[in-house]
A = this chain, B = another copy of it.
Amino acid sequence: MLETKVKRYQYGNPFQTDAVVIKLPIYHEPLQKLSHENGNFIYKLEKGAAVYGLGESVRGINKRGWFYTSFCTDDDMHTENKHALYGSHNFLICNESQPFGIFIDYPGKVHFDIGYTDLDTLMIEPEMMNLDLYLIEGQNVLEIIQTFRTLIGQSYIPPKWAFGYQQSRWSYETADEIREVAYHFKKHEIPLDSIYLDIDYMQNLKDFTVDPHKFPDFENLVAELKEEGIHLIPIIDAGVKAEAGYEIYEEGIKNGYFIKNEDGTPFEAAVWPGKVHFPDFLNKETRTWFGMKYKTLIDKGIEGFWNDMNEPSIFYTPNAMKQAMDSVLENKEKNIDLGLFFGIKDQFSNILNKPEYFKEMYHDTDQGFVCHHEVHNLYGYNMTRAAAEAFDVIKEERMLLFSRASSTGMHRFSGIWTGDNRSWWSHLLLNIKMMPSLNMCGYLYSGADIGGFSDNTTEDLLTRWLQFGIFTPLMRNHTAKYTRAQEPYRFKSMAVMRHFICLRYVLVNHLYSEYMKACLSNTLYFKALAFEYSDDISKEIEDQLLLGDGLMIAPIYEQNKTGRVVYFPEEMLCVRFTTEKTYQLELMKQGHHYVSMPIDQLVIFIRPNHLLILNDEAQNVSQLDNHQIEIIAHVQTTCEGRYYEDNGLVKNPKLEDGLSQININIENNEVGTQWQKSKNSQLNHVTYTVYDAKQNEIFIHTENL
């Protein structure tokens, strides 16, 4: 089936990345669509055609007009001039009269010049010609995405509680601080499902340790929070502190589990713990060894992790530091001129994450002894895979797991967050634009650091970002050290922020259901309007998104705004939440409308013949009352909805095996429901609020199941 839509071409001797799960035969006919010149793949783009994809990247949903580099990079700036961010996702679609997709299965550096050098030319430049290239055909963008997603396998499904609101900062440093955060949330009745531990919980920044002074009763703390429905999520960094007597260091050295220099000795670098070695996650044995280390914390009650610094990020190597210091020593007696000044200064200024470091690192894999530079994008992926594969052994239930670095393939094992962003309005907009691209590439469980990581947030930015964050599967507020505190209870407008966090819980069953649908059918949770609508205006809209089957959102992402213009490609029903429990309905005709969006209101749009599911609010996901839901339906002719439900923990949920599917059918003021309830389903009461667009009437109906 897939073979009729996908052609696999092979060049050279590719390193096996396990990005794809369906092994297609290699197609030996000449390359179609693209031409292949001087080691590059070239394509003449149609005038005005959009190019979508590349997952975690700067700029817009339509990538045309810039060049991008696929090479996982630790960089928090995310400004327009950048080429690479934390992830590497080599899938793109040219949305032309005959749309097609391209996937470059190659773990090293690839440049994508998408109409930068020449407006009308797409040029793909892999650094080495050892790769699989997949050409994917389809009727339209959505079909091509579904085919690609089928090729790379089903996306990661986190536990349902991971859809609750999550609070983080670098760092809550002590058990007392964690308790204080939990206390404030409870006191102010702000719902909460998780609190995060950033690096300072560790003993001297050693992975899988807990500082016994700061956290003298760690297991009690975990249990105590769990009583309140709150999960504690520790960070794990890629670098293992080089410290005699530290078990993981000793074992790694003894067994040769660390990345090596070319001569086979362990490669040394400095990151947060000071001197570290990096586990060789491209080695299967290392993965098994390191993955099982997570058990130390799982045994203490931990149910989720975030993997960080796994591009890997490197502050310096002893060599680079020596070189920089030598440049001073050599010149200390000299008259420093401007050239020499910049020469010395830049040795230090540019010492973080020098690309040269990756050329000194080697992996011992069953595909050979390979230079890290050539397989760089697999590192964070395989760190995370190590954890996920171990979880399969350790734990019966789903674990929460997400990573900073990523590449295609890792989406089956975990989510990602979008890395260290900044407290900028433009990064809220980037967050909005990035989501459909990430979904295309298999990353459904994702979100940005709400409020912004670096720099100081502002009250209105945080509030607006929370409004958008309501819709991202990962809804986490996180900020850096030395920045303004971002917990909602720190602000005058706490009540407004609480309102939006509560709304997340009112919507959580709907969002979770849409997430499950997207995972199970290899479709999108977030879509650009251009993926569904073909009119000229929809094609260019990048600040509104479709969510799942039936919703559209149009976030505010500018300061001092109390409304914005929204484009409606078709008639939609506007649901305006003035409190968690009360909302107003208004039919919006096709076209542009200015929609008032004061900072304390949330607005969601329902597409024709689609519905929105609400549940009662709760202080965390475990307290949700799943017995009853309310359905708001926008009926033009016949409204068909599908709703998924499960216990939120079963692995590989399947219909009739833990997962309930509920099909809803509403025709004007007749409601018909078909239920395929699994034995776990708790649902027994539904209220329908049906907006009949033809009659311009609202009728309400309840049903006991």
Contact = CB atoms under 8 A, between A and B. Distances in A.
Interface of A: 48, 50, 59-60, 62, 64-66, 79-81, 116, 118-119, 270, 272, 274, 315-316, 321, 325, 328-329, 331-332, 336-338, 341, 344-345, 347-349, 351, 422-426, 454-456, 458-461, 492-493, 536-537, 540, 542, 558-563, 565, 567, 592-594
A242 to B, nearest CB: 12
Contacts of A461: 65
Contacts of A79: 79, 422, 424, 426
Contact of A493 (B119, B272, B331): B119
Given A458-B65, A492-B118, A80 B341 contact: no
Contact of A80 (B425, B493, B592): B425
A417 to B, nearest CB: 20
Most buried by B among A64, A331, A348, A351: A348
Given A338-B272, A341-B270, A559-B59, A565 B540 contact: no
Nearest to A59: B559
Contacts of A66: 458, 559
Contacts of A349: 345, 348-349
B562 A337 contact: no
B60 A560 contact: yes
A558 B59 CA distance: 10
A428 B456 CA distance: 24
B81 A422 contact: yes
A423 to B, nearest CB: 7
Nearest to A120: B492
B119 A560 contact: no
Contacts of A48: 562
Contact of A592 (B270, B316, B423, B594): B594
B423 A81 contact: yes
Contacts of A593: 592
A351 B347 CA distance: 13
- What 9 pairs between A and B have smallest CB-CB spacing? A348-B348, A81-B455, A328-B328, A80-B424, A349-B349, A345-B348, A62-B560, A65-B559, A565-B565
B592 A337 contact: no
A62 B321 CA distance: 46
A321 B336 contact: yes
Nearest to A344: B348
A81 B424 CA distance: 7
Given A272-B338, A560-B50, A560-B60, A80 B426 contact: yes
Given A80-B426, A119-B492, A458-B116, A560 B540 contact: yes
Contact of A560 (B64, B270, B347, B422): B64
Contacts of A492: 118-119
5 contacts: A64-B559, A80-B423, A328-B329, A329-B329, A344-B348
Contacts of A329: 328-329, 332
Contact of A65 (B59, B460, B594): B460
Contact of A337 (B60, B274, B459, B460): B274
B119 A460 contact: yes
A286 B638 CA distance: 83
A169 to B, nearest CB: 18
